[in-house]
């Protein structure tokens, strides 16, 4: 786990967002990984942009040009219910990583305990945000901070089907090393078409493209393991 000082120095796509008021409101401690939660999510894939190459922090190196983003509603779990938006603009390799990984330089939530827990456990650069809409129940989803916004209109189609997946993410830590962790998903899914509109600084809009994207809506459970 990272210390209270280290969680403020995590590399991030958007460096601003942790105001003095947010920092003062963070809890003193957090539950350790793994975290298990029931979730609803609307996720989409997209071709990685050229700008995603420049956005990779050392010592990560680029993998296949595939990006993923998602709105997630955590219905319960280690720090209670909250909403989240995240983007992994490109698959990556890194020293000592056993497999191809995603990397999450942009992630925002509407929960101070989640900000603290994500930064402390996984070096995820969580920022505060506000949200409207629920991923599997509403067609319009919006997440926004002080200077950015991500909105999606979701059109799901077809039957609900069993879903099981796992993926690894890699994050650079303040000590210069890289640690990875795995997330395991089980539940049910439907295919979806998402119309996404991203606004804000170039650091975000250049790696998380607006437009029409294929994706999934998912209901189920996720377990996010400890980093190693």
Q: What is the pTM of this model?
A: 0.96
pLDDT above 80: residue 168: yes
The sheet with strand 140-144 has its strands ordered as 126-128, 106-109, 82-88, 66-74, 35-47, 211-224, 178-199, 149-172, 140-144, 130-132
6-224 maps to CATH 3.90.550.10: no
Pairing of strands 61-62, 92-93: antiparallel
pLDDT above 80: residue 192: yes
How large a percentage of the chain has pLDDT more than 90?
A: 91
What are the residue ranges spanned by the domains of the chain?
Answer: 6-224
pLDDT of residue 96: 82
pLDDT above 90: residue 16: no
Tokens at 15, concatenated: 């460096």
pLDDT of residue 95: 85
Q: Round to whole Å and give the CA distance between 50 and 119.
A: 27
Q: Round to whole Å and give the CA distance between 130 and 128.
A: 7
pLDDT above 90: residue 182: yes
């Amino acid at each position: 786990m990272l210390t209270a000082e280290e969680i403020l120095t995590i590399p991030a796509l958007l460096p601003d967002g942790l105001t003095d008021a947010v920092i003062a409101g963070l809890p003193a401690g957090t539950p350790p990984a793994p975290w298990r939660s029931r979730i609803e999510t609307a996720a989409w894939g997209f071709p990685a942009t050229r700008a995603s190459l420049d956005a990779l922090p050392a010592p990560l190196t680029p993998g296949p040009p595939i990006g993923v983003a998602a709105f997630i509603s955590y219905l319960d779990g280690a720090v209670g219910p909250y909403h989240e938006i995240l983007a992994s603009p490109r698959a990556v390799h890194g020293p000592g990583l056993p497999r191809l990984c995603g990397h999450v330089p942009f992630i925002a939530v509407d929960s101070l305990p989640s900000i603290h827990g994500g930064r402390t456990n996984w070096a995820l650069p969580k920022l505060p945000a506000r949200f409207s809409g629920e991923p599997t129940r509403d067609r319009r989803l919006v997440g926004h901070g002080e200077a950015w916004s991500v909105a999606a209109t979701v059109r799901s189609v077809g039957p609900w089907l069993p879903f099981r997946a796992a993926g690894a993410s890699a994050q650079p830590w303040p000590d210069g090393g890289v640690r990875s962790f795995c997330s395991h998903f089980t539940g049910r899914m439907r295919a979806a078409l998402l119309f996404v509109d991203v606004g804000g600084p170039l650091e975000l809009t250049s790696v998380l493209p607006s437009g029409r994207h294929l994706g999934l809506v998912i209901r189920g459970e996720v377990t996010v393991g400890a980093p190693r």
